[in-house]
Structure 1
Amino acid sequence: MRGLQDDDEGAAEVGNTETTMEQAPYSHPSLPNVCFWDLPGIGTFNFPAATYLREMNFERYDFFIIILGCRVKEHDAKLGEEIKRLGKNVYFARSKMDDDLRRFQTDGGKSTEMEKIRTYCVDKLNQFGFPSPTVFLTSSRRVNEFDFPTLKETFANNLDDIKKDVFLLSLPNTTLEIVENKRKELKTRVWMLATLSGAVGAVPIPGQSFACDIGILVSAIIQFRQYMGLDDASLQRLANVTGKSVRDLKAIVKTPLVGEINKEFVIRMLLSCAFVTISAIEIGLDLVPVVGSIFGAGSSFGMTYKLLNDVLNELVENAQRVVKAAFETD
């Protein structure tokens, strides 16, 4: 979910024995406000089912993923029922599908086995008292295959608007759909930032609007680049996950927006278009009552909107090329 491999810094511990002995937080590598919590397994000697919910403080979390192994246990269904009773969303993810399907060579054979596994999980959960469960078949080694993309989309759709937006932007770029969903969300932010720029532009103080616009643009471009997975750290994580060379992934990116973004860079972008003339007129009109405010608001809004919209489109095109190359997909 965070785009990390087992041996990456900050990755969750893995093991064949009871590894998680306490609630462990794992922050997103580039969005610290997004945090996943790994909870100890239910029904073990250390964490008996009778006291599990109370000890784990379930009220604090937004949603839950119950990881199913080869055998579905009664504790899995009972835990899911208790989570639903608290008014929280719970999802069942059957893990390690790559291991289970390794011996099936044909797509037809894999599809048949996947349906057998899904049917078994659903039937067992029903039998243990969890009605009509949805089971997602997943593999942490093949994050753009099986039901992993659908699982992430389901998470997002069931969050409230603010958390949905943050969650979407936190997802690693493993599919073109994720990139496109990020574009839609960032389009909204373009409007918000342009509106903010227009509000500042309405204040008749010479030079203030232009300086504020530059600050907004620098910050937004750096954030948009990170959300689109085109910063160095994101590209390195993607290379680690896919086994591709980070140098090869960087070579696919054809935009100066992956270089250093500062005041001088943004001013050069503005100089390459007509906005520099508009800004000069705006400064000249700042001392004219009413007219200066109206012109300033409109020009600041238009300049910020146009530039950020162009930046977003350019970043999306490059992010799409990287995903296609990384996962060898169209």
Structure 2
Amino acid sequence: MFVWNPSLREKMDQTLRAPFFLAEDVERLQSSYNSGGLEAIMPLIQEKINALNNTELHIAVTGESGTGKSTFINAMRGLKNTDEGAAEIGNVETTMKPTKYQHPSFPEVYFWDLPGVGTVKYPAKKYLSEMNFQKYDFFILLSGDRFKEHDTILAKEINLLEKKLYFVRSKIENSFHVQSGIVDKETELEKIRDNSVYNLEKAGISQPAVFLVSSYQTREYDFPTLNETLANNLNDIKKDVFVKSLPNTTVKVLAQKRDQLKKRIWMLATLSGGVGAVPVPGLSFACDLGILVTGIIEFRTYLGLDDASLQRLANITGKPVEFLKAEVKTPLMGEINKEFIKRIVVGSTFVGISVAEVVLNFVPVIGSIFGATSSFALTYSLLNKVLDELTENAQRMVTAAFATS
């Protein structure tokens, strides 16, 4: 039986951190393993995987009417305004009560379109009393030109709740001053941003985060920076939930998704040697083929390689979905079942199993507590190689999707 020792604890404290597990979670893993072995920790790991798949994220988008909240929400979900399920847009105030929109692939992600503040129905004081601000994980406050008194009132109220608030200047593509047909975009953007920050600080908002975006050009301006900032300010699990919801607009987004998925692999590898493990023909050990099947399918969806995500990307870019699929050249896009897993495990280029591949620094808890069993090493190695293969194909597809003729 494994016994915890100070040198191992010190090593783990210095170099190993279990993704998605707090310090007390790691203590539970260690204690459960010491008392009941590998089988005892599997429910704890499965519990964490369930949390990754089911934790809800509620994002509030607010601001005065006419600032483009609906179009912004559609852009965040990878939808055009004309797509099925898109938030309704209009020249008048279309949102009369908080309206939620689920992500089309990940229904645990909710975007809330809040009524515009400062309207006849929702003057500022009534707005503050009727909106349930506590339910939202963070707020995005939109302005179409400049942030006004109503915006600062909202900002101060949100700050009192100790919630994250991000100021977004929407429709930024319309904000450039054209002089003799020449526009220095970077200089103009810096002026707009500095002016927004100055006015907000003058109104009593400390260190406001201001982003300049176009909901029609999500690869440009501050849209990529906004999404990266939103993700980095969330805790581990909610960051994972948010990152997987991001539309595939850049190769950097896909790299973020790959990094998040890599954090899950050690947990799936641990479960693969459990109760559901079965012998693999041609190999001398067992693994859970069902976990591998589910893992690969989930990786594809997370990376936006499922049919629905590909169609949304085709809609946004104006490229035929068949063109996008042609850029993805991997057998992993076909039907994934247990027979397929057996074929790629035995003699496949995907797997070259050796315990030496499982570097402790990348396998927190399991590497230091349990060692690398054959079934663990198989699943760990296979899923890492599958993930790299899918990511490379997805990045090639995105590059082609947004390439200009």
C-alpha deviations, 1:258-287, integer Å up to 9, x for none? 1221222222212334999x9xxxxxxxxx
| Alpha-carbon distance in structure 1 between the residues aligned to 2:244 and 2:169 | 25
The question of 1:109 aligning with 2:184 is answered yes
Shift of 1:213: 1.4
| Alpha-carbon distance in structure 2 between the residues aligned to 1:49 and 1:234 | 39
The 1:262–1:133 alpha-carbon spacing in structure 2 relative to 1, beyond 3 Å, is: same
How do residues 28-177 of structure 1 correspond to structure 2 at under 5 angstroms? Answer: 28-101=103-176, 109-177=184-252
**Greater mean alpha carbon deviation, residues 298-307 or residues 24-33:** 298-307
**Greater mean alpha carbon deviation, residues 85-94 or residues 131-140:** 131-140
Correspondent of 2:388 among 313, 316, 322: 313
| Alpha-carbon distance in structure 2 between the residues aligned to 1:101 and 1:321 | 33
| Alpha-carbon distance in structure 1 between the residues aligned to 2:219 and 2:182 | 16
Shift of 1:108: 5.6
RMSD: 2.7
C-alpha deviations, 1:8-48, integer Å up to 9, x for none? 11111111111111111111111111111111111111111
The letter for the 2-side match of 1:159 is L
How do residues 185-224 of structure 1 correspond to structure 2 at under 5 angstroms? Answer: 185-200=260-275, 213-224=288-299
Contact 2:218 2:224 in 1 (8 A): yes
**Greater mean alpha carbon deviation, residues 92-101 or residues 306-315:** 92-101
Shift of 1:100: 2.9
**More helix per residue: 1 or 2?**
1
The letter for the 2-side match of 1:116 is K
Contact 1:194 1:300 in 2 (8 A): yes
Shift of 1:96: 0.9
Aligned to 1:322: 397
Shift of 1:129: 2.5
| Alpha-carbon distance in structure 2 between the residues aligned to 1:115 and 1:95 | 15
Aligned to 1:283: none
The letter for the 1-side match of 2:188 is E
| Alpha-carbon distance in structure 2 between the residues aligned to 1:274 and 1:175 | 28
Correspondent of 2:325 among 234, 250, 258: 250
The answer for unaligned runs of 5 or more in structure 1 is: 279-296
SS at match of 1:36: strand
| Alpha-carbon distance in structure 2 between the residues aligned to 1:275 and 1:256 | 11
| Alpha-carbon distance in structure 2 between the residues aligned to 1:299 and 1:60 | 45
Contact 1:78 1:128 in 2 (8 A): no
SS at match of 1:247: helix
The 1:206–1:229 alpha-carbon spacing in structure 2 relative to 1, beyond 3 Å, is: closer
Contact 1:23 1:40 in 2 (8 A): yes
The answer for unaligned runs of 5 or more in structure 2 is: 1-75, 354-371
| Alpha-carbon distance in structure 1 between the residues aligned to 2:151 and 2:399 | 37
The letter for the 2-side match of 1:242 is T
Shift of 1:66: 0.3
Shift of 1:151: 0.4
Correspondent of 1:4 among 79, 96, 105: 79
SS at match of 2:272: helix
Contact 1:104 1:110 in 2 (8 A): no
Shift of 1:104: 7.5
Contact 2:172 2:214 in 1 (8 A): yes
SS at match of 1:315: helix
Shift of 1:212: 6.2
| Alpha-carbon distance in structure 2 between the residues aligned to 1:184 and 1:200 | 28
TM-score by length of 1: 0.86
SS at match of 1:272: coil
Q: Which runs of 4+ in 1 moved over 6 A?
A: 104-107, 209-212
Contact 1:78 1:129 in 2 (8 A): no
The 1:119–1:23 alpha-carbon spacing in structure 2 relative to 1, beyond 3 Å, is: same
SS at match of 2:288: helix
C-alpha deviations, 1:39-61, integer Å up to 9, x for none? 11111111111121221100000
Shift of 1:303: 1.6
Shift of 1:194: 0.2
Shift of 1:106: 8.0
| Alpha-carbon distance in structure 2 between the residues aligned to 1:105 and 1:27 | 45
Correspondent of 2:93 among 2, 5, 18: 18
The 1:88–1:275 alpha-carbon spacing in structure 2 relative to 1, beyond 3 Å, is: closer
The 1:145–1:104 alpha-carbon spacing in structure 2 relative to 1, beyond 3 Å, is: farther
Q: How many residues align?
A: 309
TM-score by length of 2: 0.71
Percent identity between the aligned chains? Answer: 61
Aligned to 2:379: 304
The 1:231–1:274 alpha-carbon spacing in structure 2 relative to 1, beyond 3 Å, is: closer
The 1:107–1:316 alpha-carbon spacing in structure 2 relative to 1, beyond 3 Å, is: farther
